[in-house]
Structures are given as structure tokens and as C-alpha cells.
Amino acid sequence: DFEASEDWLYEDGKDLVAADYQKRKKELEKQTSPIFLRLSELEARPRVVKHANEAINWTKTMLETWVTERPEVTETERATLTGLCANFSLWLEEVEAKQAELPLYEAPAYLSAQVTTKLDPIEKEMRRLLRKPKPKPPKVKANGTNGTKANGTASAANDTATAAEDAPSTPEAATEAAADAADADAAEPAADAAAADEKAEEPKEEL
């Protein structure tokens, strides 16, 4: 067909109008589009499947930690998201098995876009749960004892926040801070020794 189209282009088609060329082009695209689709999917599917499996594994890990760390996420919500992950994984395994049995010239068993579409509800639900606010801490009664405890807690929190602000943000900064602290510790005994020597050299008053 391609050779016939080439012959047509240089023979009968050389004196035709643009509409005839467009018609012939569409006929060729019907034959070539499936070929280019199979090629693009051959490259795209492994990337999309890898991303999907990583997303599912990460979601499962988060759901396990949320049992203790995110009490605002209910057991029902965790079960729902777990079910979505299980259904997606089952579907992906089935279409992957079908694809593995097909020769490269056959139409794909599934498209990479289908993987993204089926993964989307899981990612949306995950984002929704991540945005859920944490439960508010119980209110403290405003009596003398509790007030003192609250003040002490607030003071400790402020000290912790100040310490966190002063803490080094990188391993390099932490190393430099440790070195500065070591230099300061080493300088203190030397300063004390120098002060003692000066005091010993002072003349004693005669009696």
C-alpha cells in the first residue's frame, strides 16, 4: 500500500487538488496509527507500571503507620483505601499477564493511560486523608495547679522551639558546631591556668 501510494503521488496524484491529498493521507494514517501506538506504548507502559507500583506500595506503608500515628483517619477510611489498592493491583496483574502473551504486532492488552486513570482515585483519596486535621488536644482547666503546669509546658515548648531554630540544618553545619564547642571547652582550662599563673606572680605584701 505504501509503494502504491508513492506511485500514485508521482503519477495520478500530481495534478489533483488538495482535498484529494488529504483523503489519501487519512487512508494512510489509518494504517500507520496502530503501528505508532504500539511503539509508544511499548516504551510508556513500563514507566507507568513502575510508578503505579511504587505509589501503591507507598500508600500501603502509610496506611500501616496511620494506625498509630494518624488517629483522625478512621478504620473505615483505611479499609476503603486498602480495598482500592487491592483492586488496582489485581487488575494490573491481569492485564500485564495478557500483555506478556501477545506478540508485538498485536494491539496492546491495555494502554498506559488506563493505568493512570485507574490510579487516580487512589491518589485523590490519599490526598484527602493527608489533609484531614489532627484531633485537638483536650482543654486544660484554668486552675492554679494546671495553670502552673501549662506555663511550664509552654516555657518548655518555647525552649524547644528556640533550640530547634539554633540547631544546625545540615551535617556540615552540625560538624562545625561540634568543632566550635570543642574549641570552647579546650579554651576554658587554658584560661583558668593563665589566671592562676598571674595570681601566683603577684608580690605578697610584707607583714
Which triple of cell numbers denotes residue 171? Answer: 551535617
Rounded Cα–Cα distance for residues 173 and 168 (Å)? 5
Better pLDDT: 66 or 204: 66
**pLDDT tens track for 126-179:** 999 999 998 888 888 766 555 455 455 445 444 444 444 444 444 434 334 434
Which triple of cell numbers denotes residue 88? Answer: 488496582
Q: pTM score > 0.75 for this model?
A: no
Rounded Cα–Cα distance for residues 89 and 56 (Å)? 8
Rounded Cα–Cα distance for residues 74 and 65 (Å)? 13
**pLDDT tens track for 83-108:** 999 999 999 999 999 999 999 999 99
Does the pLDDT at position 182 exceed 60?
no
> E strands of the chain, at which residues?
none
Which triple of cell numbers denotes residue 121? Answer: 482515585
